[in-house]
Amino acid sequence: MAQEITLSLADAEALSHRVLSNNGFNQAHAEAITRSVLAAQRDECHSHGLYRLIGCVQTARYRGLDPDAEPQVIDQAPSVVKVDARRGSSLLAFERGLPHLVEKASRSGMAALAINNGFHFSALWQEVEALSEQGLAGIAMTPSHAYVAPAGGRSPLFGTNPFAFSWPRPGKTPYTFDFATSVVARGEIELHQRAGKALPAGWAIDREGNPTTDPQAALDGALLPFGGYKGSALSTMIELLAGPLIGDLLGHETQAATPDGKGQPHHGELILAFSLEAFLGSDKARHQQHAETLFEAILDQGARLPSQRRFEARERSRAHGVIISQTLYDELTALASPA
């Protein structure tokens, strides 16, 4: 059995800062990235937690990410704000654009934040929940590199193309879902490979288009969309809305960073915000309570709400810290140490 280590949230945060700072990330980027990976690790979203620091460092070393980029905020239209990430992490770009998105949505009822030219690796639930914390409902979507075959296809064309939604609930954790339009996130394939575990059937095909449970064959081949043609259609929608609509690339036009520095790991993201206050005015509280009847009906059937396990994990981590493998801890410690 693989050895594991428990870190307090404070120690995990400090480790992330050391890894990033020791590898050229300025303070603003290091703080934004740390907030993201720590939140994911805290909520036991391992594929987007501390493990992602390795990819951030490698991408910066391959010159596919500018760890010192300063995002440019652009007031595009009354209900649209754009942020040019300038080949930096999309996380800092989001944080710079968020106040403008909230202000525009609160004034107009709904607004959009378009992030261009950004390196994106993070879980989208963090961004839509940042809107829920402001009392707004939110939707986020982004394409990624071509890892997924279209339904009926044989080779990668779409990204894993995640989509997230969050609804604010007074006095309770928000209703949030976040899922890739592939059967599973690519990070899950990578974690299976690192652990030497076979994939469940139906996740992927090899480069000849045959079903495979071998993680390496899946990484060399393609993931599959969830729900067949339905997932494939949703993935196409995300490509269009977070690509051409905002003046950015389609997933297959991007590539992961490579040692020769010729990779193009930058693309767009679209975040939509809806103001309940603007839509409902003085009736806001009544209609939010109406929404609660739906959640109660789901729970009354013995079903779970999306993210319920994640919120439970959050409380465990706050009380007991986070658990990572000894192997990952050793890798991160090496990256955090001066060369």
Beta-carbon contacts of 303 under 8 Å, excluding residues fewer than 6 positions away, are none
Q: Which amino acid, 20?
A: L
CA-based torsion, 88, 111, 38, 175: positive or negative: negative
Cα gap 216→189, rounded to integer Å? 8
Q: Is 208 helix (H, G, I), strand (E, B) or coil?
A: coil
The one catalytic residue among 17, 29, 48, 192? 48
Residue 21 is encoded by which pair of tokens?
Answer: 């700072």
Alpha helical stretches, state H, the chain: 9-21, 27-42, 52-61, 90-108, 125-132, 186-195, 215-220, 229-241, 276-280, 284-300, 308-320, 326-336
Examine the residue annotation and report whether 312 is marked as an active-site residue of this protein: no
Examine the residue annotation and report whether 188 is marked as an active-site residue of this protein: yes
The one catalytic residue among 95, 127, 129, 188? 188
The one catalytic residue among 47, 106, 108, 325? 47
Q: Is 39 helix (H, G, I), strand (E, B) or coil?
A: helix
Catalytic center residues? 47-48, 188
